[in-house]
Structure 1
Amino acid sequence: MHDASPLPRRSAVRLRTALGVATVLAVALSGALVPTSDAQAASTTAGSDASSRSVAKGWGSADKGGAWTTWSSPAAGFSVGGGLSKITGLAPGASATAVLKGVTAGHGEVRVTTVLPKGPTTLYQGWELRRQADGSAYRGRVELGRTGKVVLAISKVRGGKETNLGRFALPSDVTAGSTVSLAFRAVGTAPVTLQARAWVKGSAVPGWQLTAKDSAGDRITPAGTVGLWQYAAGSNAAAVSTAFDDLVVVSNPQESALTPAPSDVPSPAPDPAPAPAPAPAPVPAPAPVPAPAPVPTPAPAPATGAGQGSAAVGSASYPVPTGALFVSPAGNDAASGTQAAPFRTLAGAVARAASGSTIVLRAGTYNDSVVVPFNKKVTIQSYPKEAVWLDGTVPVTSWTRAGSGWSTPWSFFPSSDMDGALDNPRFVSPSFPSAAKPDQVFLDGVQLTQVTTSQLAPGTFAADAASGRILVGSDPSGRDLRISNKKQAIWVMSAGSTVRGLGVRGYATPYADRGAIRFGNVDATAENLVIQDNAMIGINLENNGGTLSHLTVERSGLLGVGTNASYDLELTDSVIRQNNWQRFKEAPVSGGVKITRSRGVTVSNNDISRNYSSGLWLDESVYDSRIIGNTVVDNEWTGIQLELSSKAVVADNTVTGGKAGIQLMNTNGVRVYNNSIGGVSQYGLKITQDERRQATAPTGQDRRRPIPDATTTWVTGDITVANNAFGSGGLYQVLVFDSKTGRSADSMGILVTGNAFNKRVTTAQATLLGWGAADNKTITRLDSVAAIAARKPSWRNVETGSVLGLGSMLSLLASSVGIAASLPADIAALVGQPGTARKIGAF
């Protein structure tokens, strides 16, 4: 919830949540990173496993390190054979672990080889070091996405919550089906230094691609066991299998990280230790081994969904009207603006344009920033079939070696102020303290992680405003290094203006400036825009009648799309993913899309996935919304959330992964029809009430409406849950509960009928329906369809015969249409189905 328009801010730590997928971990660490007391300890093999045995069930015992303890939910197959340790049949939404409890390491590395599954599959996998009895651990992770791209990441697990500490987009040769080697290490205690790298087996070993230092109060300092964790996304169409080999765990790894590990054969009696040599005089730290140049992110092709996402930059073809003004990188702002004599900058063209003009940009990259004034309605578009980028970065080639990194003079340091406080802790997580700093540096197209000058390491940068310089920890020699030097691409203050057919990237937008693209007036149109790697919000809309369509918005620091006070908003046919790149707190604002204080909202046919917080969040007095036909997959927090709002249709969406699928908080008048929900860790559909009320709250009301407003009371009730399919996963498939004001679920006017639930075989599976009492604490668990019917005899629902992911429920859904509720005429029209249609789950 946020009192103003949703504001994003860009975090200094450029990283993405990646749960390690098919992983190969080899952690060896530089001796310089080992505390002095440990540096003299001999490097030893604490555990190893060549997978040379045959075991039909489980993994048996490693060559060194004792027996493996394995677990999965729902059940997957563990076996060893053919020189591989295998996990087979990991269902969508399922997780698995394997722990080598006989190995204990403090300063340690793990090395392993994995064959990544072939796509399209989303799989997260992490090898764990310093694993504690309560599940706390550091993870070296590999994430395999449905497109085949692979990301390397480091995270910390504490108290059941995973905090990402760094990420690196692996080169394109590491892809689905590859055999990958990965190294991951954890050394030291104050701070804990973590490093990881991954490469195709048999290719040259790269330098450390990812370094993170954990100095937080909850860092993990004790020695612990070694383990494997793996999760298959709920969106997968089928179960997946993985295999591992060549595991080596090294205690007290030394600087020569990937030399052969100590032998597992009994060691001979050690030779007498030589007399210690005098300590050498300190020498400058050697230049880090450069990581292989990451492949720059290409302009995305149209998304795989039905017409979702922007046309690829350079493929849009809008007609050029007579009298259009032209802009070209080879132009001159003193020119006339004709096709033969174009302007040089977009700002120059806007300055000369009359209201009603169309401005056409020719192919090229423009390091530009422009404000379109109130009195100029304009259309800004690319020339047909020409690639146009508005780029907030400039190349920097002059670097001087400085300590452990490289330095260049710099003068642009945008503010980290958020709502009147620098690095405001209301927004900024202690785990990502640089999130609010808009500074951005890109090496070969990949964002570097922002750190302080004392934390500089390969893959990071520091903004030293006091000394007027930028420092980088990776050698920039011969590489494309760019730094953001602009705050905002376009701020449109006029009514009825359009921006289309462009790419916008690399802007260091402070919180006060909202978005890289910002619309402040009515009837704005944005279409076929690729918006990537901007520091705060990708695109922000602040008035009525906005149309946002065919957008691709990725890796925004705080939020992909933000809208406030936007009556009659339409957000359609877009791809919005991997936003909250800087890992701001989940609240008051972060994630894929946030819409506040708006009426008549339509959000349809979008792919809102893999955002590092909520996917789609409607909050603070949104009235009359239609959330139709969206794909919402693997967002970290909630897939679709309606909070402090009223009157909505949520229909024909596929919502999988994350903590909660759909969440309705202090919201009434909602019809939840024909959604497919599964693979969550907590709640499929969560319906709750707390103490907030529209008539008395200090903030959150739509300021254009009266207080109190009978149309948005913030009192949960009048909710229909019909024809939804609930796949396996989580704690509750549906929960209805008032935690603060003593309203029982029976009093809320909730109808739950025509749904297909997942059978609760044991207490490890999700309760079908949690039904809250009037005491703010008691929840009755209705663990079967029969139990639900006993309480509400008019409700008709079905359940599976066993624990099944969504992809395995098709036969049940087809055979159970007789219990499906009739589609209301308006919902049938919204989802494009005849009124006679009967189905359970998304169409």
Structure 2
Amino acid sequence: MKKSVTIISVAAAGAVAITGIVAGTRSNMASAFGPEDKVVGSGVLPGDRPHKPRPRTTPTISVPSVPPVPTRPPTTPTAQPTTESPTPTKPPASTPKPTTPAPGSFPAGPSQAPACTGVTITPDQDAADVVDKGQAGTTYCFAAGVHRISRTIHPKTNSTLGSDHGAVLTGSVPLTGWTASNGDWVIKGVLPAAYGQTGQCEDNVANVCYLREQVFFNGKHLKRVNSQDKVAPGTFYADYAGNAVFLGDNPQGQAVEMSKTQTAIESDAGGVTVRGLTVEHFATAPQSGAVVLASGWKVLANDIRWNHAVGAMLVNADGATLEKNLIQYNGQLGVGQYSTLNGTIKDNQVSNNNTDGFWIADWESGGIKTTWSTNGSVAGNLIKNNTGVGLWSDAYDDGRVFSGNQIVDNAADGIRYEIGRNGVIENNVITGNGLGTGRGSGRSLWDGGGINVNTSSNVQVRNNTVEDNVNGISIQSRTRGNGPWGLNVLRDVVVTGNKVTMKGGTTATGMVQNSGAVIPSGEVVLKDNTYVLDSLSAERFQKFGQWFSAGEWQQAGLDAGSRFTTG
């Protein structure tokens, strides 16, 4: 059933703007997250669930004030440490150490799937038709080869879609019949009618990230340009008004394909298993998945890659499991989750997503994003080299646990826990994140860090290794309006037992707040952490615009029992 979803954002200068009307299906996670310090509510999302309250109208909008610019403390501090080195109490001996897997120990993908015995589907068959005519509980085994999926496959209750390896489900079609045209190559009559924009692009001038039809040249993903005069080798231009595609490479004798079908696998039926498949080249709309999980699904050991928007989506997927998959090179986001109770995302490799240029800092691009979900976990995953946030909880997640993940070299925050509650972030290894943001972002605590807790309540951040990120741990209190639990506020955040390495530049750990979201005393506790710094005199800590060295930080009553060292 389709729904119209109004997406609200807050534009510059505090003006409220309607940014789009999205025609949504189950696969659409139509959230509305604009600039981090400007957005104060989320759009109405599809698929409201009875197990938790959901606002049925646009959330209350409250425009935040501009965050203050941090200032350095005066030359003569109010309290100077007596020595360069503070004298903290050692952390408790019982503090557990991170238990994340060693690098490279993430077996995933079709090679991990069990053998398939059942009804064979060959590449020359219409897979959707075969499954439509089958019975609930049937196991279908896709034979090795390329299966061109022209219609979404809708499995029935307790069915299995599997393969003995080598089966590729593709949403693309071959493009043949090219002609030379003024130094380029052109084919006509292959595009859909022009359609409106959804989503936000990193390049908000060209604004082409939302266009679904990708072109592949001998399997290589070509870069889209926004006019014919910019076409060059390795690029293509899609002229929707003229219904023509232009290439900069000679296609004669080459395999040229264009993504066309929007969704590979989706159904409301429960208890479905999908395993051992490669799913690629689907023309997924922004915030929509190539594989869309429902209640009780198990999506195991697949390679989900090169789809335009989201690789795998859990939507109203209570008790579903996404496990041991390779989820890579998708155009917007690797994994999305919406309105799900007790969903599990574990032991996946989620890497190199946001290939199509969605906004890096603040619009749902990158590795994994979950919203409006209760309980469940994201655990034991390798989340690496995504052009966006590594792991992001946003918009009324409740009781979520993020544990034992390796989160490495993502362009924005390693972990962001935003306008949620009752979260646990523990035993993760988080390194090299937040150093690749562009539009609308910088290097301050307002811009995030290895871990970013943003306007959330009752969040435990414990026993993580946080090393060489844009900042260490950023705790942010912003004016974010009202939600299903009342006013969105930062409360009861405990940061303990973490090892945080901060060296060079302006990297820091601490708290920021804007004037409409003051943090009451005692609501943020930092204790029993270990900090590895370039110098004990370096100002690596910040509270509400004031910078502190290690000694000054503890003299201000912060990080009791913590250790500060150099290395």
Q: TM-score scaled by structure 1? A: 0.51
For 1:689, which of 473, 477, 488 is the aligned residue? 477
The residue number in structure 2 matching 1:260 is none
Aligned letter for 1:674?
N
Asked if the contact 1:484–1:507 (Cα under 8 Å) also holds between the matched residues in 2, the reply is yes
- Deviation, 1:355, is 1.1
Q: 1:431 to 1:685 in 2, by over 3 A?
A: farther
Q: 1:505 to 1:742 in 2, by over 3 A?
A: closer
The residue number in structure 2 matching 1:68 is none
Residues in 2 aligned to 1:645 and 1:359: alpha-carbon distance in whole angstroms: 40
Give the CA RMSD over aligned residues: 2.6
Residues in 1 aligned to 2:145 and 2:30: alpha-carbon distance in whole angstroms: 30
Residues in 2 aligned to 1:722 and 1:568: alpha-carbon distance in whole angstroms: 26
- Deviation, 1:464, is 2.2
- What secondary structure does 1:454 align onto? helix
- Deviation, 1:603, is 0.6
- Deviation, 1:379, is 1.1
- What secondary structure does 2:251 align onto? coil
Asked if the contact 1:427–1:589 (Cα under 8 Å) also holds between the matched residues in 2, the reply is no
Residues in 1 aligned to 2:281 and 2:328: alpha-carbon distance in whole angstroms: 11
Q: 1:739 to 1:309 in 2, by over 3 A?
A: farther
Q: 1:375 to 1:532 in 2, by over 3 A?
A: closer
For 1:593, which of 364, 368, 377 is the aligned residue? 368
For 2:334, which of 552, 560, 574 is the aligned residue? 560
Aligned letter for 1:354?
Q
The residue number in structure 1 matching 2:188 is 409
Q: 1:708 to 1:307 in 2, by over 3 A?
A: closer
Residues in 1 aligned to 2:485 and 2:285: alpha-carbon distance in whole angstroms: 34
Aligned letter for 2:131?
V
The residue number in structure 2 matching 1:366 is 147
Residues in 1 aligned to 2:255 and 2:155: alpha-carbon distance in whole angstroms: 38
Residues in 2 aligned to 1:317 and 1:414: alpha-carbon distance in whole angstroms: 42
Asked if the contact 2:509–2:540 (Cα under 8 Å) also holds between the matched residues in 1, the reply is yes
- Deviation, 1:370, is 4.2
Asked if the contact 1:371–1:492 (Cα under 8 Å) also holds between the matched residues in 2, the reply is no
The residue number in structure 2 matching 1:317 is 114
Residues in 1 aligned to 2:122 and 2:191: alpha-carbon distance in whole angstroms: 26
Equivalences for residues 145-160 of structure 1 within 5 A? none
The residue number in structure 2 matching 1:435 is 209
- What secondary structure does 2:130 align onto? helix
Equivalences for residues 420-569 of structure 1 within 5 A? 422-424=196-198, 426-427=200-201, 429-430=203-204, 432-451=206-225, 452-511=227-286, 514-519=288-293, 521-543=294-316, 544-569=318-343
Question: When the two structures are aligned, how many residues end up with a matched partner?
Answer: 456
- Deviation, 1:679, is 1.7
1:782 aligns with 2:556: no
Q: 1:425 to 1:522 in 2, by over 3 A?
A: closer
Asked if the contact 1:545–1:567 (Cα under 8 Å) also holds between the matched residues in 2, the reply is yes
- Deviation, 1:595, is 0.2
Q: 1:396 to 1:542 in 2, by over 3 A?
A: same
**CA-to-aligned-CA distance 1:60-109 (integer Å, 9 cap, x gap):** xxxxxxxxxxxxxxxxxxxxxxxxxxxxxxxxxxxxxxxxxxxxxxxxxx
Residues in 2 aligned to 1:426 and 1:793: alpha-carbon distance in whole angstroms: 39
Asked if the contact 1:364–1:387 (Cα under 8 Å) also holds between the matched residues in 2, the reply is yes
Asked if the contact 1:326–1:349 (Cα under 8 Å) also holds between the matched residues in 2, the reply is no
**CA-to-aligned-CA distance 1:537-557 (integer Å, 9 cap, x gap):** 111111122210011111111
**CA-to-aligned-CA distance 1:38-78 (integer Å, 9 cap, x gap):** xxxxxxxxxxxxxxxxxxxxxxxxxxxxxxxxxxxxxxxxx
Residues in 2 aligned to 1:485 and 1:736: alpha-carbon distance in whole angstroms: 46
Q: 1:317 to 1:528 in 2, by over 3 A?
A: same
Q: Using the TM superposition, name which of 363-372 and 426-435 deviates more.
A: 426-435
Residues in 1 aligned to 2:266 and 2:197: alpha-carbon distance in whole angstroms: 24
For 1:669, which of 455, 458, 477 is the aligned residue? 458
Aligned letter for 1:529?
N
The residue number in structure 1 matching 2:161 is 380
Residues in 1 aligned to 2:120 and 2:239: alpha-carbon distance in whole angstroms: 39
The residue number in structure 2 matching 1:138 is none
Aligned letter for 2:546?
T
1:753 aligns with 2:528: yes
Which of the two has higher C-alpha Rg?
1
The residue number in structure 2 matching 1:215 is none
Residues in 1 aligned to 2:390 and 2:559: alpha-carbon distance in whole angstroms: 34
Relative contact order, CA 8 A, sep 6+: which one is greater?
2
For 1:792, which of 551, 554, 557 is the aligned residue? 557
Q: What runs of 5+ residues in structure 2 fail to find an aligned partner?
A: 1-6, 9-23, 32-101, 435-448
Equivalences for residues 271-420 of structure 1 within 5 A? 305-312=104-111, 316-320=113-117, 324-330=118-124, 344-371=125-152, 373=154, 376-382=157-163, 384=164, 386-413=165-192, 416=195
Equivalences for residues 693-842 of structure 1 within 5 A? 693=481, 697=482, 701=483, 707-708=484-485, 714-729=488-503, 731-741=506-516, 743-744=518-519, 746-760=521-535, 767-772=539-544, 779-784=545-550, 786-792=551-557, 795-801=560-566, 804=567
Residues in 2 aligned to 1:590 and 1:450: alpha-carbon distance in whole angstroms: 18
- Deviation, 1:601, is 2.4
- What secondary structure does 1:750 align onto? strand
Aligned letter for 1:318?
A
- What secondary structure does 2:376 align onto? strand
- What secondary structure does 2:140 align onto? strand
Q: What runs of 5+ residues in structure 1 fail to find an aligned partner?
A: 9-302, 331-343, 417-421, 702-706, 773-778, 805-843
Q: TM-score scaled by structure 2? A: 0.75
- Deviation, 1:442, is 0.9
Q: 1:527 to 1:567 in 2, by over 3 A?
A: same
Asked if the contact 1:445–1:480 (Cα under 8 Å) also holds between the matched residues in 2, the reply is yes
- Deviation, 1:769, is 2.5
- Deviation, 1:737, is 2.0
